[in-house]
Homo-oligomer: A and B are copies of this chain.
């Protein structure tokens, strides 16, 4: 079997309705393009979502970090390059570079961590058992990704509830779970719109912890870590009045008037 190159690039356009009121691609839509690139890249190499489903396994996104110097504006073309940094027993590290379509200008970079699970038991599956560890032929541990690893968030008593979200039909993907991109959209909406008039996002770190379903009521909590840096915790409200964290995130901004 002939091996493909370790990385591949996929081109996209920043569509007008995928851009914010300052004409820049929403970071949720950028994340969507990154997740698509991950899917194309793994499918081309024999361990994509569709093949995994056929053997009772699937990829689950666990962590995503995106750091951008600027964002593509409406109508501009950009490419998302992706490669696997390393694959362990049940986790893989996958990185991204986002560039202008001419191949020169870099918009930013991304890091992600994916788990492989058994779709029956929902327990971790052995990545290296798929095609005899083929994924390791594509791992590129020497290639640098020039952004820091995922940043955890430690919440304090200053965490306050800021937004309730009633999920519905539009939130849910093929697996019946609220989709990874929709969580990002809801988290962005927990920051007042006026803040975006004078700031742009420089970095997003998001950790997906438990799954939510369409119809779940979500409550978003926010803590100001720095004047331009927010910790966010999104929690599913359960019928007995308790809460379960579905994901948490850190959103860093820079002033940009």
Contacts and interface: CB of A to CB of B under 8 A. Distances in A.
B169 A20 contact: yes
Interface residues of A, number: 43
A217 interface: no
A214 interface: yes
A84 B175 CA distance: 39
A17 B179 contact: yes
Interface stretch (A112-120, A151-159, A183-191, A232-240): A183-191
Contacts of A185: 170
Interface of A: 15-17, 19-23, 26, 28, 32, 35-36, 39, 49-50, 74-75, 163, 166, 168-176, 179-181, 185-186, 188-193, 196, 214-215
A49 B17 CA distance: 13
Nearest to A13: B36
B191 A74 contact: no
